[in-house]
Structure 1
């Protein structure tokens, strides 16, 4: 399990303006909340990727084959024990439905669920970082915010250059899947060249959506380029440095705080 620690230099912001302290304090708290959400999403993603699919277990496969045969025999008996050729498809269908429902009731997940878990957690990581970036941008524009906060916001953009584009595609798959860009009247995508260890399309023309290339979650963005965000400890380390510097940019009073909690 990865835990990326953060130290808040004090308990309260030092300012005579209570309204300002309350507003800035809430923004900083929101930053920390999205940061820890990203940390959690990373752990869940890592766990889901390392889990061995249940169907890959030979013991499970053999038990399933035996149970399928038993259920099929039960269904055949209900058809009189000597089903005609025209009933074989129906017997197979009914046997499979009963077998799957039995497996689900015993706690086994459908393959589609197991397959989609890493993608769900990758998108959760993506959304948490995107929200972190938005809160940091709002904070940088607040009156009285130290200049370094704007610089840190720029650093976040450099650390995750494809963040906004990949997030937009994730939220507008209904457009990208039709080969359309962004906007109220989206235009057809001009698909750019892609070269990585998953796809080789030097002349472009390849649409990639909701993909995982190792730990990198990616999609074709609205400008036709392929973009990705790395769901990794390295990404969290970048976020950690940015958040720590943002917290240290303000003046505090009271005991310093260590996070997360136990």
Structure 2
């Protein structure tokens, strides 16, 4: 488990305008919340990848046992019906398959589709938490009366994660991207892709992909973008948040997060 720590310099902001102080403190709390949500998603993503890689259905021995059990169920069905005609073969085969699946599920086996989807769900959760962090930081940087350094930090976020907004938008609008549509229904001009997963000089539409730990999709501008669901991304987010917190003057004792 990865735990990314924060040291908040104080308890309250030292600002003359109490209304502004209250608003800014609220935005900072939301930044912290998005940060720890990303940390949570990262850990769950990593755990899900480990479980997915250990799926017993990947084992040849398990495949053979499953095949033998299906044949056993099928033979029992044939015997119960007093034999098998050619016309009923596919029906018996289908019924045996269904019985076998339900038997495995009752014993705790998770269907491949459900297990495989867990990794993608947590990858998108990480993406959405990062996007929320970015949005709160943008709003904070544009708030009148805050330190001007926040604008630079907001720009840093975009520099470190240049594909964040585009990948997030594609994740939220897959119904458009799947039809090759970008912003306001414009046709996407697909750009070349050359990475460890795909080499397509003429471009290809890709949605909801995992390239190692990198979650990616074709973006509205036709380029393929990725966001790395990794401790390195979290460390970058941690550094940015600490810089944001240290931009302000604080009152009260410093605090260590997360709580014990």
Report the TM-score range of the alignment, normalised by the length of the smaller protein.
over 0.9
1:43 positional shift: 1.1
Q: How does 1:29-44 map to 2 (within 5 A)?
A: 29-44=29-44
1:78 positional shift: 2.9
Deviates more, 1:102-111 or 1:34-43: 102-111
Unmatched runs of 5 consecutive residues or more in structure 2: none
1:18 positional shift: 2.9
1:213 positional shift: 1.0
Distance in 2, Cα, partners of 1:261 & 1:74: 58
* TM-score normalised by the chain length of structure 1: 0.94
Unmatched runs of 5 consecutive residues or more in structure 1: none
Aligned to 2:76: 74
1:114 matched to 2:115? The reply is yes
Aligned to 1:205: 203
Q: Kindly report the root-mean-square deviation, in angstroms, between the aligned alpha carbons of the 2 structures.
A: 1.4
1:166 positional shift: 0.6
1:187 positional shift: 1.8
Aligned to 1:15: 15
Which secondary structure state, in structure 1, belongs to the residue aligned with residue 226 of structure 2?
A: strand
Deviates more, 1:48-57 or 1:143-152: 48-57
Distance in 1, Cα, partners of 2:182 & 2:71: 50
Aligned to 2:62: 60
Distance in 2, Cα, partners of 1:66 & 1:253: 70
Deviation string 1:192-247 (CA, Å, 9 cap, x unpaired) is 11111111122x23111111111111111101111111111111111000000101
Which secondary structure state, in structure 2, belongs to the residue aligned with residue 21 of structure 1?
A: helix
- The list of structure 1 runs, each at least 4 consecutive aligned residues, that deviate by more than 4 angstroms after superposition, is none
Distance in 2, Cα, partners of 1:73 & 1:149: 71
* TM-score normalised by the chain length of structure 2: 0.95
Aligned to 1:221: 219
Distance in 2, Cα, partners of 1:194 & 1:59: 38
Aligned to 1:152: 153
1:169 positional shift: 0.6
Deviation string 1:31-60 (CA, Å, 9 cap, x unpaired) is 011101111111111122222122023443
Distance in 1, Cα, partners of 2:179 & 2:39: 33
- Across the two proteins, how many residue pairs are aligned to each other? 258
Distance in 1, Cα, partners of 2:39 & 2:125: 10
